Structure 1
Amino acid sequence: MSAKSRIFLSILVVLCGALYAVYASSLGKSYPMQSEKQLISINQGDTYTALIDRMSAEHKFTLPVVLKAYRKFMIHDTLKAGVYEIKRGTTVRQVLDMMSNADNAQMNTVMIIDGTTSKQLLQRLKNDPYVKQTIVNLPQEQMMQKLGIEHKNLEGLLAPNTYFYNKGETDQKILTDLYRRQIELLQQAWQKRAPNLPYKNQYEALIMASIIEKETSIDKEMNQIAGVFIRRLQQGMRLQTDPTVIYGMGDAYKGSITKQDLRTATPYNTYTMAGLPPTPIALPSKKAIEAAMHPDQSKSVYFVATGNGGHTFSETLEQHNQAVQQYLTVLRSKKAGQ
């Protein structure tokens, strides 16, 4: 063997050794376990990039750049929601591979985002291959009877959260669990509610919570939004909230509201009607329910978006009009910048 051949062979051996070392300390490394089995939960919408970063921060994965490169070139599907059982000795590569196929999950994840409508939730269950459909395709009246719910409308009565069920669980069991959870949260909040609220019953508080949920995604604003709407009710003002109008439009809503929409009377148009709409308009979170029971104690009766996230709250119409102009200025500035 010539000197050049020996040098080439030596380099090749060193390179192979280095590659093996990288593989052994990343993809080929056993997933760290404290017991023989461990469950890993993946939520709807989670990504491989986020998973790798989180596991690396927790010192479960090493050399994240290698894992991300492997995912990009070797895993040709997205991360699938579910609960996965990892056994001792399973390599990091095997963990990444198994999570691209929901059939490998031990349990099915049912995630309901705060502010989702009951219609969207029912469609989610209809589309889930791991949910046994027994009632979701029935007319709403029959479905409500099957669930043992006295209300005519399912809206607002199901608690948004992330739930885990065995594959093949029935839609009736899932909906019953979500209903019982929401009623429990509502009753607990009702018992601890602030005095002098303008609600006739818990259901009206739930309606208010759903409106709050749709008006803001900022937790610290929920009590302020609740305060504005409660003071409007107490002062005989109309709620004049766009989310109720949108809900009343149903499938006719295409992404924007016109002046004609605001003038068109529906049971949910709070620009044309006084008081609360007849039902909730979405599935409110626990935080929104608690906000509906504990409004802030300011004097604000108006609010408008800032254009940069959040809202500006005002006590007088004059202050509100100024805030509206500021909002429009921000929008024009952003449009000019684009």
Structure 2
Amino acid sequence: MPSIAAYEFPDFVETAAFVKDQPVFAIADGSVRFPAGGERVVEAHPGGLLSARYDPYGRRLLTGGEDGRVVSVDGGGAAREIASIGRKWIAAVAGGPRDTVGFASGRTAYVRLSGGALKEIRHERTVEDIAFAPKGIRAATARYDGASLFFPATDAAPAALEWKGAHLGIDFSPDGRFLVTIMQENALHGWRIDDGKHMKMTGYPAKVKDWSWSAKGKFLATSGAPAAILWPFSGKDGPMGKAPLELGTRGDTMVTAVACHPAEDMLAIGYGDGMILAVRFADSKEALLRRGGASPVRTMAWSGEGRLIAFGSESGEAGVIDIAG
């Protein structure tokens, strides 16, 4: 039976991650917590934290706050200011190859290149999210009516990928062939980067608020339904014309968080009532990891070796699950 080391934080958990095998939690009050082995607290943003994301390239946690600062926190708990743009809210952060860091504030996307230069890419509408392609220094932003693709090390104008509506989240597929956005409506949208061909992923009863790519990028798992919805991306056309997998179906609550295992075809699923399941892709076999809690699961992450799961909820409940017991 899985075992849980439970924690309680003073505000909702924005992001749970493992940084060099240490479970780390970014909290909305502006702190980053290292609870294992005696709690260490890093005061990253005293005025409040707005965004946090694990940087797989730099193996660190990146955070953005109401203080206009972007901070990196390493596995030892050392915090370093990456950028500061005055009293502006940092709505999104992302790490890229070669020590590149991107972030968004208002109508501007910023990219700090490895040499320290800070590039500004202005948009006509608010930049909601930013992501980096897995190879080369190429970035994409989510905005109203589509996405923008650009090479921040050059002065070339961004390429526009248009689709009507508000796009709130963005990510590249692990092989770099596709770009996908989370929309304000109950849908995802995607483009095949080579030719701009559209991919519509609809049918959700609620907004998608979390997603996770499976090992080798075969599937994109998403929240927003009473089951985890997994869109297939292994073929040249991605999910176009294909039905998604549905895992962990429950009739009385919604999936609110998803995290794919780093090596195996297995998914951790968090629900609105705090329950967490692990489900195998091949046969839909389920294992109960957590019975429930006081609020929806907001964020989950696997450790590098795939034995531990860190999770956090909207009420500040959190923990680390050892699936081996």
Q: Decide: shared fold, TM above 0.5.
A: no
Looking at secondary structure, tell me which structure has more helix per residue.
1
Q: Give the TM-score band, short-chain normalised.
A: under 0.3
Q: Write 1 or 2 for the structure with the bigger share of strand.
A: 2
Calculate the TM-score normalised by the size of structure 1: 0.26
Rg larger in structure: 1
